[in-house]
Amino acid sequence: MKKYKLLYLLPAALLFGCEPDIEDVSTNGGSADFSVYVAVGNSLTSGIQGESLTLEGQEYCYPNIIATQLEPLGGGEFKQPLLTGEPATEGVFTTFYPDPRSNLVLPSIVLKATPTGLAPVFPDPLMDWYSAPAFFENISAEGPYNNVGASGARVGSLNDPAFSSSNNWFKRFSSPGETVLEAAMKNNPTFFSLWIGANDVLGYSTSGGDESGRLITSISEFEADISEALDTLTRTGAKGVIANIPSVTGIAYFNTVPLGTILDAASANALTQGYADYNDALENPLLGIPAAEAAKRKITFTAGQFNFFIVTDTTLQSDRRLAGVPSIRQITSNEHLILQTPQDSLLSGWGTAKPIPGNYHINTDELKKINDATAEYNRIIKREADVRGLAHYDAYAAFNVISSTGIIEDGISLNGDYISGGMFSLDGVHPSTRGHAVAANGFIDAINAKYGSNIQSVSVSNYPSVEVTP
């Protein structure tokens, strides 16, 4: 397999040792006190990129960028539970955590070349572990830490004493039984940022919806948990900013794998003939499949045109698998295949000769559940921010623009395309380094608008770009 490396392109000022000219701009904190800033959240807050945490990701995470911009306004030290040793450079893959007694972790995602382009290779939990005993050493005594973002955290995780033992990242820098909110409040913060809630719907989404067994957090539970978190963070008078949840299905993870392919005449004819018996069975009156449903399930292929892939869909109204009729159909244009759909399998018949399993597919019903939950979560977030007089960063709207039309920041074009768009990292979910800079500016704009402060935004071009090279 031909491997690809990541080339980080640093600003010219850094390459040549020159100091950029900085405009002398007066700054003020407005009605907010930025002397002790804490960041609470999930993997977005901790600095995950490519489903892995590295030292570079921590240094370029949006909270650290914000903290740097707060320094001229009296912002103090922003302490993070930084990685050391091999994990700092190789990365700690966050989806899988082994028994700490094994001292093993998984490395970062790599890329491979396929006939259809570059595709991510996720670490294999059966073979790709490397030894990193220092990762499991508790460093809570060196705290308290200002960045308490923890990969995998849902809103309900923030006040859960069990989270400090079940989440190996938070366990690394917390005390036994300590909650995320308690870890944050040990700093006696005067200002906070909170970006949480994506995992309450993301796990269901990234693992294929209903087939995954992972549930979307109920609206009532989300509402109670977010209210409790904000009550805790504001109880000593701290002000802050809360971001809402970007559209889950607007990210690159759901919009990279094509939904179909173009076939030559021989292939199209052979496949159409191969599904003839299936199509006939759909119209068999003894099976009782409604005509409208039968029409939607029929499978046809046309030479020289784009043909949608075939997927397994166990949510179909008429399940006739016991009669030998599979629950399959062709995917529609408003549905999604996830980034982890095996590219080599697509090239060897998945989607044409063989249906794509449902755990790689988000269907229309699942998409509605995802979008409805996200919309309701965001309504609650905005209401709770307004009630408490907090700044609100509309990440949902901002990321929708990035995914649909793209943006130009500091003369740099950014959009939601995988790799080439520059906004998302290799996992297609978490922002890239420049993506974190864009998010930091969004937070800064929201803070300035609410509190009358004059925090300076950052120049996106001063942050590394990721370019894939042989």
pLDDT at 191 over 70: yes
- Give strand pairing partners of 263: 303
Residue-by-residue DSSP string for 406-421: -EEETTEEEBSSTTTT
Structure tokens at 77: 């030290």
Structure tokens at 58: 């921590």
Cα dihedral 121, 126, 132, 135, rounded to 10, equals 80
pLDDT at 245 over 90: yes
Using alpha carbons, select from 28, 34, 43 the residue that is nearest to residue 78. 34
Structure tokens at 184: 């944050």
Lowest-confidence region among 11-15, 252-256, 443-447: 11-15
pLDDT band at 80 (very low <50, low <70, confident <90, very high): very high
Peptide bond into 144 cis (omega under 30): yes
Furthest C-alpha separation in the chain: 81
Distance of alpha carbon 191 from alpha carbon 197, whole angstroms:
20
pLDDT at 21 over 60: no
Distance of alpha carbon 107 from alpha carbon 95, whole angstroms:
11
Lowest-confidence region among 8-17, 161-170, 456-465: 8-17
Q: Which residue has the higher pLDDT, 316 or 59?
A: 59
pLDDT band at 28 (very low <50, low <70, confident <90, very high): confident
Q: What is the pLDDT of residues 344-375, one digit of tens each?
A: 898 889 999 999 999 999 999 999 999 999 99
E-strand stretches of 57-176: 92-93, 104-105, 110-114, 117-121, 130-131
pLDDT (0 to 100) of residue 464: 84
Reduced to 3 states, what is the DSSP secondary structure of residue 176?
A: coil
Using alpha carbons, select from 87, 75, 40, 76 the residue that is nearest to residue 61. 40
pLDDT band at 466 (very low <50, low <70, confident <90, very high): low
The whole-model pTM stands at 0.89
In the chain, the domains with their CATH numbers are: 5-255+365-469 (3.40.50.1110), 260-362 (no CATH)
Which sign, positive or negative, has the C-alpha torsion 247, 350, 469, 206? positive
pLDDT (0 to 100) of residue 5: 38
Q: What is the pLDDT of residues 294-347, one digit of tens each?
A: 999 999 999 999 999 999 998 888 999 989 999 999 999 999 999 989 888 988
Q: Which residue has the higher pLDDT, 218 or 109?
A: 218
- Taking residues 223-245, what's their average pLDDT? 98
Cα dihedral 324, 327, 330, 332, rounded to 10, equals 160
Residue-by-residue DSSP string for 249-300: GGSGGGSSS-SEEEB-HHHHHHHHHHTHHHHHHHT-GGGT--HHHHHHH---
The vertex-352 CA angle with 272 and 268, nearest 5°, equals 35
Q: For tokens 């269907």, what's the residue?
A: 363
Using alpha carbons, select from 91, 95, 121 the residue that is nearest to residue 107. 91
pLDDT band at 27 (very low <50, low <70, confident <90, very high): low
Distance of alpha carbon 436 from alpha carbon 248, whole angstroms:
17
